[in-house]
Amino acid sequence: MNLMNRFRDKQKVTALLKKIEEIVKPEKDYSIMEICGTHTVAISRWGLRGLLPKNIRLISGPGCPVCVTSQGEIDIIFDLLNKHDVTIAVYGDLMRVPNSNGENLLHLRGKGKKILIINSVVELIRIADKNPEEDFVFVSIGFETTTPQTAFLIKEAEKKGIKNLSVLLFNKTMPEILNLLLADENLAINGFIAPGHVSTVTGVELYQGIIRQNRAAVITGFEPVEILEGVMEIIKQVNTNNFTVGNCYKRVVSGKKNIKAYELMYDVFESFDAVWRGIGLIRNSGLKIRVKYEDFDAMLKYNLKAYSYNERAGCKCGEVLKGYIKPMDCPLFGSFCTYENPYGPCMVSSEGTCAAYYLYGGIDG
């Protein structure tokens, strides 16, 4: 049997749904938030919301890195391209994110601006090294999963003496946003489906604060069997009021923090205040490049700054990211804002909540 088939087996899914129905207390409401964009897509793709009991509410949180990047940070990218002769390097999901004027990187590339889509930082290091006459800027967006790669890029560029490479660093970290979500009385979350990718770096330590506040946290993979196992474990913990960090993704996540990844990250970066789209400033939830590596800081090199953090008029992406509304509650969803013609980042990114609901539907139980 194919490995993935084990986690998509219809009989296993049916059995798990039956078990969940048996342990759910009909008089109780269960609010469970997934804080990973890939989970949001998987839940929508497999139609899990419509299969679960009606009193289980799966809420999509701020787990899409591109989506939580503030409008001011997005506008910096365009400011850089319009004022300086540089080549920016990005991952593909950033290409269609609009700036405040509705223009995206695809438009700018069509106008002749130099924009390079890369698959890895190793690829970019090689390109920059071979083209010393050209200045390259890597736009780094992500959580703990991808941040070590950016740190590696900077250290490797320094080691090789590559002077024509710098970084726009918009990376964010998970602990602070988790604390904010836990304190939000509007959400009243019972438990979290913890992100599988981030957990490979952070281990279970990241979620101890959740447990201490009597909420459940269960790490899961991205297949229907794994997600349903995680939901079932959360319900068991909520019912018994006995909370511990669960791991339903042991085939990938060991549970231990990746010490080498953290050492690499915090050798190159330090904690910094960051603005999250629709949420605002969160202390120490972002990263900045340390002084000893400031030659690789594009913000300093090109004297860049954010002019405004205001979102595009009418876009409800912020409320979607906080779990306050569902995508279809936004008046732009499916009409003025579509996957083919996105208005906001939650519709642009392949991990965006609006994109997931638009492509797969968001039927609730």
pLDDT by residue (tens digit) across 137-171?
999 999 999 999 999 999 999 999 999 999 999 99
Confidence of residue 365 (pLDDT cuts 50, 70, 90): very low
| Percentage of residues of the chain with pLDDT beyond 70 | 98
Overall pTM surpassing 0.85 (yes/no): yes
Domains, in order of start, for the chain: 67-173+257-301 (3.40.50.11740)
Confidence of residue 2 (pLDDT cuts 50, 70, 90): low
C-alpha 50/C-alpha 75 separation (Å) is: 38
pLDDT at position 101, please? Answer: 92
Q: Supply φ then ψ for residue 148, to 5 degrees.
A: -60, -30
C-alpha 360/C-alpha 354 separation (Å) is: 10
Q: Is 280 left (phi over 0), alpha (psi -120 to 50) or beta?
A: left
Residue 85 near residue 115 (C-beta atoms within 8 A)? no
Give residue-wise pLDDT tens across range 229-277.
Answer: 999 999 999 999 999 999 999 999 988 999 999 999 999 999 999 999 9
Residue 241 near residue 214 (C-beta atoms within 8 A)? yes
| Percentage of residues of the chain with pLDDT beyond 90 | 88
- Does the pLDDT value for residue 323 go beyond 60? yes
Confidence of residue 362 (pLDDT cuts 50, 70, 90): low
Residue 164 near residue 134 (C-beta atoms within 8 A)? yes
